[in-house]
Structure 1
Amino acid sequence: MEPTSGTALGSHRSVVFVALVTAVLLAAGCSASSGDQASSSGADAGSGAQAPRAGDGQLGSAVDAAAGPAAEAAAAEREVVTTGTATVVAADPPDAAARIATLTEEAGGRVELREERRATDGAPASAHLTLRLPADTVNRTLDALRGLGEVADVSLTKEDVTATGRDLDARIAALETSTARLMELMAKAADTADLLRVEKELSTRQADLDALKAQRADLSDRVAMSTLDVHVVADQGAVAALAPPATGFRGGLEAGWHALTATLRVAAVTFGALLPWLLLAGLVLVVWRGAVFLVRRRRTIEPAVPADGA
């Protein structure tokens, strides 16, 4: 009877251990959901707090005065990814590219891509650089580019990724809590089966946590370091080639015209390739028709041979 009691006790412990593991996983999921709901509720509450009621002038002024520092703090915590492009016309593009690289390093940034093309018979010299700059130095860098030549085109785009960053932070916090609890349960595992079960779940959670941390690190890097593509050309003619395609009616008209000219060029090349064969086929046809004509004419001219005894 004693072995039976020991087996039952071991089974009971395993059941309790599995229940604890399940509770940890459910708690992690609820924590992530609660974090998302809290973010949404906080945003809704902030929107409601900014709506003043008619007739409450003094109260509205007091609320605005109190909300001013909070609004400034919220604006400072916002995460924005800045990307842009610029085209610089310079007499010596390779030299301008070297000076742009120096300006980038002095601003605390780095050059991720640098391409230089020397002048050829068919194309002028040019250069292309991809810069990673601290977010607060982008405008100063653009102003510095004007000292290297004529800045023909500039385009800056700002994307607010605050919600994405907060979502990643909430999911990372939930997974860290879940991982810590699973490690505690692994230390208390009663047998090998329970230990293997917890280790499997822990490895899955740790992989998810590492992936989320990598995403958060990449997002933080794009927020802190803006991306700027700079094209350096030698003349204004090359600027038009770098310009984005037109849109709307003009874009459709240009696309149709290019398609028509391309079709005509293909048709001309095809006709030129077939023309020698067509001439040869025509010559063969003329010779054949002439031979047939001569044979038929000879048959009609020859006199009929009289039969014997006529």
Structure 2
Amino acid sequence: MRTRRSVRRPAPALAALLLAAALAVTGCSAQDDDGGSGSAADRGVAASRADDKAGSAEAAPEGAKSGAGAPAPPKVIASHIIRTASLTVQVKDVPKALEQARTGTENAGGYVGNETTTRDAEGRERTQVVLRVPVEKYDEVLAELEGTGKLLDRSAKAEDVTDQVVDVESRIKTQRASVARIRELMDRAGKLSDVVTLEGELSTRQADLEALLARQESLKDRTSLATITLSLSETPVQKETKDDDPGFVDALAGGWNAFVTMLRWLAVAFGAVLPFAAVAALIVLLWVRVVRPRLPRRPAPAPATTALGPLPTARPAPEAARPRTPDEQD
């Protein structure tokens, strides 16, 4: 009995010794973590970037985060669609139809954008105007514009940008949290080098945040207001006719038109050259009749002389011998 009791006594002492060793190891690891290398600013930036990556991971689709377990229930997300349309309408009075389109757009809560008006040689107007209307009133305004005259052409387009809107909103949320963390680190920074590093990181993240906000505003404007391009014209649209193969009369008419066109261009060229030719002829006439006679004439060249005297000049050759008449003989 004494031997059994002496064997069981060391068990509590051994358990206490193991507990003390575990506490010592835990304290050493905590001290190693607190005394790591690097400045406070570098550790803060690294932690902020790690949080950014975690936020991006949270912004990923639910299906990517879910593992082999049961899938999470789908979230109901409002759709964001960009709607655009183009209308070409023939009307009797373009200004009246344009005023009607403006009134309908303003009553629906929209506004008139760019406007272009032209007039052909016969005085008939053609106007193209861009209308921005709320998406809720899109179909109503479109139907009203079609009823202003005879519809000649219509095209509509719808683009779903829900994924882009959700992605931008998630990025903005993460970026704002990141900017707030950098500012907190700047408030607690004590070294000038840490402040400079944090300021550079803050300016970069603020620039990214502003770019995301601008993109969000653009998507909001395009999804909340539909764009309608309206063309109003007083001239009817001529249908294209299929041309037949040309015949002899068509070829003759085409050749005559080409000949007349060539003569016309020759006449134009002659008319363009005629003033220059007249001026040149006048200059030549003045030179011959007025200027040249008044110029001094060059003297005749003197005969060449030598030590023995002047050289004889060449005499004309005698006429050929011919028979004399009886009167010349006397």
Q: What TM-score, normalized by structure 1, do the two folds share?
A: 0.61
Q: Which runs of 4+ in 1 moved over 2 A?
A: 11-14, 38-45
Alignment deviations for residues 61-118 of structure 1 (CA, whole Å, 9 cap, x no partner): xxxxxx9xx78x44xx01111011011110111221121111100010000112222x
1:174 maps to 2:174: yes
Deviation (angstroms), 1:184: 0.4
Work out the CA distance in 2 between the residues paired with 1:197 and 1:16.
11
Equivalent residue for 1:100?
Answer: 101
Please give the alpha-carbon distance, in whole angstroms, between the structure 1 residues aligned to 2:146 and 2:66. 41
5+ residue gaps, structure 1, are 1-10, 50-66, 242-249, 251-263, 281-310
Q: How does 1:175-254 map to 2 (within 5 A)?
A: 175-237=175-237
Q: Report the alpha carbon displacement of residue 183 of structure 1 after superposing the two structures with TM.
A: 0.6
The residue aligned with 1:114 is 115
Which entry has the higher C-alpha Rg, 1 or 2?
2
Structure 1 residue 144 corresponds to structure 2 residue 144: yes
CA distance in 1, matches of 2:63, 2:266: 75
Question: Residue type of the partner of 2:83?
Answer: T
What is the aligned-residue identity percentage? 27
Match of 2:86 in 1: 85
- The one-letter code of the counterpart of 1:15 is S
Give, in angstroms, the shift of residue 123 of structure 1.
6.6
Deviation at 1:151, TM superposition (A): 2.0
Residue matched to 2:276: none
- Confirm or deny: 8 A CA contact 2:41 2:198 kept in the other structure: no
- The separation in 2 between residues aligned to 1:86 and 1:28, in whole angstroms, is 47
Taking a change above 3 Å as real, the CA distance of residues 144 and 130 of structure 1, as seen in their structure-2 partners, is same
Q: 2:64 aligns to what?
A: 41
After TM superposition, give the deviation of residue 272 of structure 1 in Å: 4.0
Deviation at 1:229, TM superposition (A): 0.3
Q: Tell me how far apart the structure 1 counterparts of residues 190 and 222 of structure 2 sit (CA, whole Å).
A: 46
| SS across alignment from 1:85 | strand
Q: Is the 8 A contact 2:41 2:197 kept in 1?
A: no
CA offset at residue 42 of structure 1? 8.1
Q: CA deviation at 1:236?
A: 2.4
SS where residue 151 of structure 1 aligns? Answer: strand
Matching residue of 1:257: none
Q: Does 1:29 align with 2:53?
A: yes
Counterpart of 2:227, as a letter, is T
Distance 1:44 1:151 in 2: 55
Deviating more after overlay: 122-131 vs 191-200: 122-131
Aligned to 1:126: 126
How far is 1:30 from its partner? 3.3
Q: What do the CA deviations read for 1:94-151 (whole angstroms, capped 9, x no partner)?
A: 221121111100010000112222x432573111110111011111112212332122
In terms of fraction of residues, the more helix-rich structure is: 1
Query: Which range moved further: 202-211 or 150-159?
Result: 150-159
For 2:66 and 2:140, the matched residues in 1 are separated by: 34
Q: Following the alignment from structure 1 to structure 2, what is the Cα–Cα distance between the partners of residues 42 and 169?
A: 19
CA displacement 1:222-255 (0-9 Å, x = unmatched): 10000010000113227x79xxxxxxxx9xxxxx
Report what 2:12 is aligned to. none
Q: Are the aligned partners of 2:40 and 2:189 in contact in 1 as well (CA < 8 Å)?
A: no
Rounded Cα–Cα distance in structure 1 between residues aligned with 2:153 and 2:67: 40
Scaled by the length of structure 2, the TM-score of the pair is: 0.58
1:125, 1:43 → 2: CA distance? 62
The CA distance in 1 between the partners of 2:36 and 2:192, in whole Å, is 15
Q: Is the 8 A contact 2:132 2:226 kept in 1?
A: yes
User: What letter corresponds to residue 130 of structure 1 in structure 2?
Assistant: V
Equivalent pairs counted in the alignment come to 220
